[in-house]
Amino acid sequence: MASKTERRKLVKTIISGHLQDLRRRQTKTCTSISTIGAIAMKNTDLSKILNLN
């Protein structure tokens, strides 16, 4: 059986790992959204569909 401090360390590492994963996913979605925006700005039909103009 692990001690309290060992369990706390384990929980902290798991949580920090999840947070790092979330940050990575957020940056990926942000870049994909910005690229979609950039493509839509060039393509007028797309911008009309997405209501960007």
The vertex-27 CA angle with 25 and 32, nearest 5°, equals 95
Q: Cα separation of 33 and 49, whole Å?
A: 15
pLDDT attached to residue 50: 64
Measured distance CA(3)–CA(12) in Å, rounded: 14
Q: Dump pLDDT digits (tens) for 3-51.
A: 888 888 888 888 888 878 877 777 777 677 677 777 666 766 665 666 6
